[in-house]
Structure 1
Amino acid sequence: MHKSLPAFGLLAMSLTSVAEEQRSADDLAKQLANPVAALISVPFQYNYDENIGPDDKGSRHTLNIQPVIPVSISDDWNLISRTILPLIDQTDIAPGTGNQTGTGDTVQSLFFSPKAPTESGWIWGVGPAMLLPTGSDDLLSSNQWGLGPTGVVLRQSGHWTYGALVNHIEHVSGDRDPARVSSTFLQPFLVRAFPGGITLGLNTESTYDWDGNEGSVPVNLQLNKVTKLGDQMVQFGAGVRYWAESTESGPEGLAFRLNLVLLYPK
Structure 2
Amino acid sequence: MKKLFSFLLFILVGNFSFAQDADGTSTSDLAKKLADPNATLGQMLFPIDYIQYGNALDESRQNAFVVSFQPSLPISISDGLNLYVRPLVPIYISQPVIGSNGFEQRTALGNISADVAIGKTWPSKWITLVGVFGGFPTASDEALRMNYTTLGPELMVAKLTNFGAVGLIVSHAWGIGGSDADPSTVSVIQDNFWIASGGSTTASVTAGQYFYTINLKNAWQINASPTYSYNHLAEEGNRLTLPLGIGAQKVLKLGSLPVRIGAQYWYYVDAPDNFGPRHQIRFTIAPVVPLPW
Q: Would you say same fold, with TM above 0.5? A: yes
Task: Report the equivalent of 2:276.
Answer: 250
Q: Which runs of 5+ in 1 are unaligned?
A: 1-16
Question: What corresponds to 2:43 in structure 1?
Answer: 41
1:146 aligns with 2:150: yes
Partner residue of 1:51 out of 37, 50, 53: 53
Q: TM-score w.r.t. structure 1 length?
A: 0.84
Aligned mate of 2:125, from 121, 124, 144? 121
Does residue 104 in structure 1 map to residue 130 in structure 2? no
5+ unaligned residues in a row in structure 2: which ranges?
1-16, 182-198
In structure 2, the CA distance between the partners of 1:108 and 1:163, relative to structure 1 (3 Å rule), is same
Residue 284 of structure 2 corresponds to residue 259 of structure 1: yes
Q: Structure 1 residues 220, 139: closer, same or farther in 2, change over 3 A?
A: farther
Q: 1:130 aligns with which of 127, 130, 134?
A: 134
Q: Distance in 2 between matches of 1:234 and 1:127?
A: 27
- 2: distance between equivalents of 1:74 and 1:51? 44
Q: Using the alignment, how far apart are the partners of 1:233 and 1:60 within structure 2? A: 30
Structure 1 position 63, deviation (Å): 1.1
Choose which of 156, 166, 172 in structure 2 pairs with 1:162: 166
1:183 is the counterpart of 2:205: yes
Match of 1:6 in 2: none
Mapped contact 2:75–2:82 kept (Cα < 8 A): yes
Percent identity between the aligned chains? 27
How many Å apart are 1:183 and its aligned residue?
A: 1.2
Determine if the alignment matches structure 1 residue 66 to structure 2 residue 66: no
Q: In terms of mean alpha carbon deviation, does 169-178 or 38-47 score higher? A: 169-178
- 1:225 to 1:76, Cα distance in 2 relative to 1, 3 A: closer
Letter in 2 for 1:87: I
Whether the aligned pair in 2 keeps the contact of 1:36 and 1:80 (CA below 8 Å) is: no
2:246 — aligned with what? 221
Deviation of 1:215 (Å): 1.3
Which has the larger Rg?
A: 1
Equivalent in 1, 26, 29 of residue 27 of structure 1: 29
Residue 203 of structure 1: CA displacement?
4.1
* Deviation of 1:75 (Å): 5.9
Q: Kindly report structure 1 stretches of 4+ aligned residues shifted beyond 6 Å.
A: none
- Check if 1:209 corresponds to 2:218: no
Q: What is the distance in 1 between the residues matched to 2:276 and 2:19?
A: 46
CA shift digits 1:215-256 (9 cap, x unpaired)? 11122211100011012110111121111111120022x331
Supply the RMSD in Å over aligned alpha carbons.
Answer: 2.3
Partners of 2:203 and 2:253 lie apart in 1 by: 41
